Amino acid sequence: MWPFVAVTTAAVTRVPAMPRITLPDDSVRTYPAPVTVMDVAADIGPGLAKATLAGVVDGRLVDASFAIEDDARLSVVTAKSDEALDLLRHSTAHLMAQAVKQLYPTTQVTIGPVIEDGFFYDFARATPFTEEDLERIEARMKELAAKGDALERSVLSRDEAIAFFKELGEDYKAEIIESIPADQELSLYRQGDFIDLCRGPHVPNTAHLKAFKLMKVAGAYWRGDSNNAMLSRIYGTAFATPKELKAHLHRLAEAEKRDHRRIGRQLDLFHLQDEAPGMVFWHPRGWTIYLAVEQYMRDRQREGGYQEIRTPQLVDMSLWQKSGHADKFGDGMFSVQTDDRTYAIKPMNCPCHVQVFNQGLKSYRDLPLRLAEFGSCHRNEMSGSLQGIMRVRGFTQDDGHIFCAEKDIPSEVARFIDLLHSVYEDFGFTEVIYRLSTRPSERVGSDEDWDRSEKALADALDAKELPYEVLAGEGAFYGPKIEFSLRDCIGRIWQCGTMQVDFSMPGRLDASYVDEHGERQVPVMLHRATIGSFERFLGILIEQYEGKLPLWLSPIQAVVLNITDRQGDYVARAAELLQNAGLRAEADLRNEKVGFKIREWTLQRANYLLVAGDREMEEGTLTVRTRDGKDLGALDIDEVARMLNEEVAGRGRGIEVPSK
């Protein structure tokens, strides 16, 4: 027996005459008494009732059993609704916990939230779960889902809930509840023989849980504190349909296959090690790619009117205090002390760029002044957040700052957007996602400044007719920003470029110029990055192309191969001629079968394999083969050089990304 009863309506204290329910199409249905979300769905039609997962009542997500007492707006949530995915995953986490309790009765359940791409649940047990346990748990979940047990919401007082869970032997649940105020009622959800503390809402019954997969096991400390017990965590995911789940698992398999860390080892591009956590050791081939990107960005910035500068790595902490960075990001800054002074290892470049601007009197005729730096920065990221070269502690940004008058903001933002689009296309990215991040709660500057800067960015996007999402409260502490994100070939989104309007920092750091009337004015500072962190962008490129980089970026553009020792000198000369033509070419003179060498260099992602036998040596040609196995026939060495250089000059334009 459960020591309480299920609650299928909100607490009823009065019965209104006739509650009016307004639906998304603004049609109105009137009922003589309180009515549940499911009742309204059934009134609309049996098909909708069968598909109903929950409801949104006056903006609040509620169970399908929730009783609507007063006039309200209602949206019925089905598997096609935006709210459905988290709802399904939340309920699937409960399903997993139920299966675990049936299979391993002495296990205690703790917490099981929804996370990006799925959910997890932490369990307390003497023996941690293994990967082999997952199949058994998942099989039981499928059996339970097929039963279609209803998920019923109930309420208890805090003290009743503590006693109830302690009686069940769920000490962790009891500890969670003890931290909740004594006067608060708690909701619990029951399905079959399992009950869990939860705010909800949930799907009406387990039959709606049709597509799920348990992914992996891990360890996790109770409440995230290393002084507490280690728990066993199971990660899973869920979707509305098996088709969506299959597509997700395919994307995960593709992501694993393209993982830049695995490819980096395979192609000998870089490595990381414990002696320098979050710092990249670039190997010759990886550094070749890095330099190709850097030189490309240097050329594009110069064409865009930027002047390249270089600023110090160590700067007295007083500058960071004056700029506001020390107060906002002090915990993430590395520092050193010498000569009774504290220096910060530069976490960003903007205050230093203001120092360059401040040297010498500036006139309105000098504006806009565009400064760019491949700025090396260091930030004390948490060790658990480090991820290959995607998230590191030491990185370089293609950083730039534009000092201008307020009237120049629209044209400068538009100019930057044009540059960014062109750069992304050269790297093979054609879909850009735009987000406008507005003022956070903790910020500097007046509301009037924020109003003007937010409007300037919105107007620039509107003028370009670019669709964008507003991220309220996600701006930098000194100004709003446009975030430019890329969608890669398997659908992942990577935030790379930014454009930020800053009315505050130049004044805080004493920047000024003389306007056309001879009066001192504070310039507006536009912070911008096109690709962002070089390390992260290179990781994105490696995964986007699965290491098969376009010719202009490839560290091994061509390899010349001999068939026998007789062609050794010819192959060496051919490789030298290609190198003199500006190509990254190598000669492979090893005493191995040519088929073996072709396979090996194909695995190393060399773009072109150029084979020379006796006939090629006599005719002064090379047989050209692409890394995808296409045979282009025999070509003169000069023709090979011309063809490859034309492809290099074309950048990434027209290059096909390897298929999924």
Contacts 24+ apart (CB under 8 A), 490-495: 490/251, 490/254, 490/255, 490/258, 490/660, 491/251, 492/251, 492/255, 493/433, 494/536, 494/540, 495/532
Q: Which candidate in 196, 399, 449, 488 is catalytic?
A: 399
Q: Which candidate in 89, 233, 378, 379 is catalytic?
A: 379
List the structure tokens of 480: 């709003």
Stretch (H or E) spanning 290 = helix 284-303
Strand 558-562 and strand 585-588: the pairing is parallel
C-beta separation of 660 from 489 below 8 A: yes
State the greatest distance between any 2 C-alpha atoms of the chain, in Å, as a whole number.
100
**Residues near 129 by Cβ (< 8 Å), separated by ≥ 6?**
123, 137, 217, 232, 234
**Residues near 93 by Cβ (< 8 Å), separated by ≥ 6?**
112, 113, 114, 119, 120, 121, 236
**Distance separating alpha carbons of residues 263 and 539, to the nearest angstrom:** 10
Q: Which candidate in 140, 213, 481, 597 is catalytic?
A: 481
Q: Tell me, yes or no, if 399 is annotated catalytic.
A: yes
Q: Tell me, yes or no, if 260 is annotated catalytic.
A: no
Taking alpha carbons only, the member of 521, 535, 476 closest to residue 501 is 476
- Phi then psi for residue 184, to 5 deg, are -95, 130
Stretch (H or E) spanning 44 = helix 37-44
Q: Which candidate in 173, 527, 536, 627 is catalytic?
A: 527
List the structure tokens of 424: 């992304």
Q: Tell me, rounded to whole angstroms, the distance of Cα 534 from its chain centroid.
A: 16
- Phi then psi for residue 611, to 5 deg, are -105, 135
Q: Tell me, rounded to whole angstroms, the distance of Cα 263 from its chain centroid.
A: 20
C-beta separation of 119 from 234 below 8 A: no
Q: Which candidate in 108, 191, 397, 500 is catalytic?
A: 397
Please report the DSSP string for 189-246 in residue order: EEETTEEEE------SBGGG--EEEEEEEEEEEGGG-TTSPEEEEEEEEEESSHHHHH
Q: Tell me, yes or no, if 350 is annotated catalytic.
A: yes
Q: Which candidate in 89, 213, 233, 401 is catalytic?
A: 401
Q: Which candidate in 63, 98, 261, 350 is catalytic?
A: 350
List the structure tokens of 556: 């091994």
C-alpha angle with apex 68: 65 to 72, nearest 5 degrees?
A: 130
**Distance separating alpha carbons of residues 507 and 445, to the nearest angstrom:** 10
C-beta separation of 535 from 395 below 8 A: yes
C-beta separation of 239 from 248 below 8 A: yes
C-beta separation of 398 from 530 below 8 A: yes
List the structure tokens of 577: 């001629």
Among all chains, which residue has been given the structure tokens 């169970």? Answer: 63
Buried b (16+ CB within 10 A) or exposed e, 476-501: bbbbbbbbbbbebbbebebebbbbbb
Q: Do you find a cis peptide bond into 201, omega within 30 degrees of 0?
A: yes
Q: Tell me, yes or no, if 481 is annotated catalytic.
A: yes
| Residues marked as catalytic | 350, 379, 397, 399, 401, 481, 527
